Amino acid sequence: MFSNNKLTKVILFLGLICFSLALTAGGEEQEITTSVIQAAERLIGLQFKPAQHDTMLPDLVDNLKSYRAIRDLKVKNSVPPALLFNPVPVGMKFQTERRELVASPPRSTEVPENLNELAFSSVRDLAELIRTRKVTSTQLTKMYLTRLKKYGPKLECVITLTEELALRQAKRADQEIAKGKYRGYLHGIPYGAKDLLAVKGYKTTWGAEPYRDQVIEEDATVIRKLEEAGAVLVAKLTLGALAWGDVWYGGTTHNPWDLEQGSSGSSAGSASATSAGLVAFAIGTETWGSIVSPSTRCGVTGLRPSYGRVSRTGAMALSWSMDKIGPICRTVEDCALVFDVIRGPDGIDQTLLDLPFNYDPRIKLKDLRIGYLEGEFDQDYENREQDQATLDKLRELGAELIPIKLPQYPVGDLAFILSAEAAAAFDELTLSGRDELMVRQVRFAWPNVFRSSRFIPAVEYIQANRVRHQIIQDMHRLEVDLYVAPSFVGDNLLLTNLTGHPCVVLPNGFDEKGHPVSITFMGGMFEEATLLAVARAYQEAAGFHHEHPPLFP
């Protein structure tokens, strides 16, 4: 959910000083005094008068008693706060017409002599082979399981093979299809899931040492919906510990294009396994770049849906107001096919909206208002040449690109919203001291962030969310249907994760070292259908999605 590309201005560095003032050596609590209040004021940049300290003191003592009482309740990670984030701009009108999804014709319906050659086929092509019974789900499942066993250890991208479950699901799919019961494009398609999604009967480790033996006896809503669509779960894939980066308790997940590189995070295994042809598609999550970043690094296509589109029930909570679940695939249209299955309410996650998804690839770019972040594209940054070529290609396809600017706010200074929510989600880990079991203990790692975030004032958290509300309204005033952005330049990545806007990230070339690079298409709230159709038009014209890492034939 959280990328290891950017983390600045997230914590108050002097947090541990306040902690040492609040507690005496030897573990005995120090009495709260006015001198303690004066020291704590430095952490929040305020200064009250001595008489005000005296008046505040009894309330602070009472508050501490309340904090202890709440800590004794041991609230589980799965319990959300009663306050729900609302990403819907004031006055927004929703589309109400519901039409059936339109998919492109399959690109290839030929079955190779060596089934391994299907490893990099799109979901759309595999679906047609299964539907027409030219290939069975069991054959594909065994092929991908073989590749997972062969290449998974080299990439360190697999936490648990779900082989028994997969073979059972594949057999059922074959039996149903033979009887004429075809469930749709994902029926019989093998996939992998980021190991923060609960699967009954299997460990759900969250990639972290303190939870490596954790079993959650339920299926996450996304897992359940995929099973109902007939998809076949072959593996639970790695994530950076508690959804940060690509380092997990068993090692570092690698980029299939360059084994000296990590695959980035935190949907590290989902992107790596998809890129190397170990699964037909995978499920990832994003809070701040965790679909965008590993998809870029591994040269695959990722969809971060609008906040409120896909249920988080049964998924590890990191930031209740920012967490989003989406597919990582080889093509944009594959993302559309998977998203169509996993979207929608489940009767549990109260943030969800039941809105249409009328995807249709038959779209004319000239009929849309497509923006681009002119200031960001004009900067001097790595891979600018590839991004400029993307803009040129869009113009060739008929797009009249409109220069736009994002709302001007100190976006980086709002990042502590995520830290505060994450610290709450894992407060039990911090209070128990088991955070010391985490592999990474440096400044920019969860254990330190959780501890430091204890000192983020509640008032500042609420004030930051008020600014966030203003940004949402300002974004709604952008007079474009969608826009194009460099994937990692400027504030776009964090800003749109805060507002909840959807994006598609897809390969747009290679750097001088042969590493994949990407471009980002940003959509309007709940407008994934238009976003995906435009991104697909570019992808089909550019063709970079047909390239695969040569180390994994």
Phi-psi region of 242 (alpha: psi -120 to 50; beta: other; left: phi over 0): left
Strands (E), 388-491: 401-404, 482-486
DSSP string, 249-314: TTEE-EETTEEEEE--SSSHHHHHHHHTTSSSEEEEEESBBTTHHHHHHHT-EEEEPPTTSB--TT
Question: Which helix or strand (DSSP H or E) is residue 542 part of?
Answer: helix 528-542
Tokens at 330, concatenated = 């080889």
Q: How many residues does the chain have?
A: 553
Residues known to be catalytic: 194, 266, 290
Supply the DSSP symbol for 344: B
Q: Could you tell me the sign of the dihedral formed by the alpha carbons of 548, 137, 144, 532, in that order? A: positive
Give the separation between CA 11 and CA 457, rounded to whole angstroms. Answer: 11
Nearest one of 520, 518, 231 to 371, comparing CA atoms: 520
| Cα(244)–Cα(290) distance, integer angstroms | 8
For the record, the structure tokens of 151 come out as 């290449």
Number of C-beta neighbours around residue 39 at 10 A: 16
In single-letter form, the type of residue at position 254 comes to: H
Contacts of 17-25 with C-beta under 8 Å, sequence gap 24+, read: 17/43, 18/43, 18/455, 19/451, 19/454, 19/455
Contact 549, 256 (CB under 8 A): yes
**488-527 as b/e: b if 16+ CB within 10 A:** bbbbbbbbbbbbbbbbbbbbbbbeeeebbbbbbbbbbbbb
Burial of 358 (0-12, 13-18, 19+ CB in 10 A): middle
C-alpha distances in Å from residue 409, one per residue of 3, 8, 412, 495: 21, 16, 9, 9
- The crossing angle, in degrees rounded to 10, of helices 492-499 and 458-476 is 100
Q: What is the DSSP letter of 29?
A: B
- Strand pairing class (232-237; 190-194): parallel
CA distances, 318 to each of 183, 213, 450, 482 (Å): 33, 19, 11, 28
Residue 318 CA, chain-centre distance (Å), reads 11
Share in percent of the chain as helix, strand, coil (round to 5): 40, 15, 45
| Token code pair at residue 398 | 């008929």
